[in-house]
Amino acid sequence: MLGKIMGNMLVKPGQAPLFDNPKNYNLVHENVSFTAQDGTKLSGWLIKGNSDKVIIQSHFGTFCCRAGYTNKGKGLMKSYPEDIHFLNQAKYLNEAGYTVLMYDFRGHGESDTGPKEMITWGPEEAQDVVSAVDYISNHPDYSSANIGLLSICMGQGATIQAFGTLGLGDYKNIKTMISVQPLDYPHFLDAMKLPGFIRRSADKYLENKTGIDYEHSSWRPYVKEITVPTLVIQNRNDGYLDEEFVNEVFEDIPTEKEMLWIEAPKHKSSTTNRLAAYDWIGKNPEPVLDWFNKYLQ
């Protein structure tokens, strides 16, 4: 019973309602949908800028959607004291001329739940990353555009998984990536300091549901398959920070790379402050724009 409760809390779909809209930021956009290879229908916003450069944003997992994070419906399981609006970065990216594709991973926001039923922290969501790239690559207005990837937590894990297992590196229109706060599922559980018997019970429950051994499932082995210049952003005030893990991930990136350590302000009501970095990105455009401008102009 404890394993089921914990497993559902960590990776059950439907915990990330769509709570914001580009209209609130005066952004010209259209609602779009596209389908992953396994038939899962995904929903998103295409925020329209120049036709020659597109940012694809992949959000973090379970409690997040393309709009960001909201406390709405979270009950006692609030991950951060305030809502985090990913349309903040969409706004400044669009003002700098970029088209922005923001989409919901399977099991999040308005996208369908995949056949595995649960969020997998990368293995299944890697298909969603590829389908988002395919959508832009085949779009009549953006088929010649250079693409930058803004991949956040689980989103960066799914992106790296796609480099390693789904041939994402074969897409020559992808020119660069920003990887925000690398963390895989096993290290996430380490940071939570859950008792071993609860972890084992949750893993057994999830493996029975999905066929995936979550405790030994990670995008980590595929970091060496990244093919584009990559900026890694990590908050030193992240209560879940495993600095050795982040440094090892960075060292294994085989392309041109930079490491940006930030100190996103701690929120007095937050127990972990991990999400503070995601709020920081929306309010500090310079490093994001500098990196993308370097490779997408």
Strands (E), the chain: 29-35, 41-47, 53-58, 64-65, 68-69, 84-85, 99-103, 146-152, 174-180, 230-235, 257-262
Q: Which 3 state secondary structure label does DSSP give 271?
A: coil
Q: Do 30 and 48 form a contact (C-beta atoms < 8 A)?
A: yes
Residue 144 lies in a domain: yes
Average pLDDT over residues 245-264: 97
For position 28, which CATH number holds? 3.40.50.1820
Determine the structural domain holding residue 97 and report its residue range.
Answer: 2-119+137-153+168-296
Residue 56 lies in a domain: yes
Residue 252: per-residue pLDDT: 98
Residue 75: per-residue pLDDT: 58
Residue 124 lies in a domain: no
Beta-bridge partners for 31:
45
Residue 126 lies in a domain: no
Question: Is residue 203 over pLDDT 70?
Answer: yes
Residue 130 lies in a domain: no
> What's the longest Cα–Cα distance across the chain?
53
Residue 125 lies in a domain: no
Give the tens place of pLDDT for each residue, 25-46: 999 999 999 999 999 999 999 9
Residue 61 lies in a domain: yes
Between the ranges 2-16, 64-78, 164-178, 203-217, where is the mean pLDDT highest?
A: 164-178
Residue 163 lies in a domain: no
Average pLDDT over residues 244-267: 96
Number of domains in the chain: 1
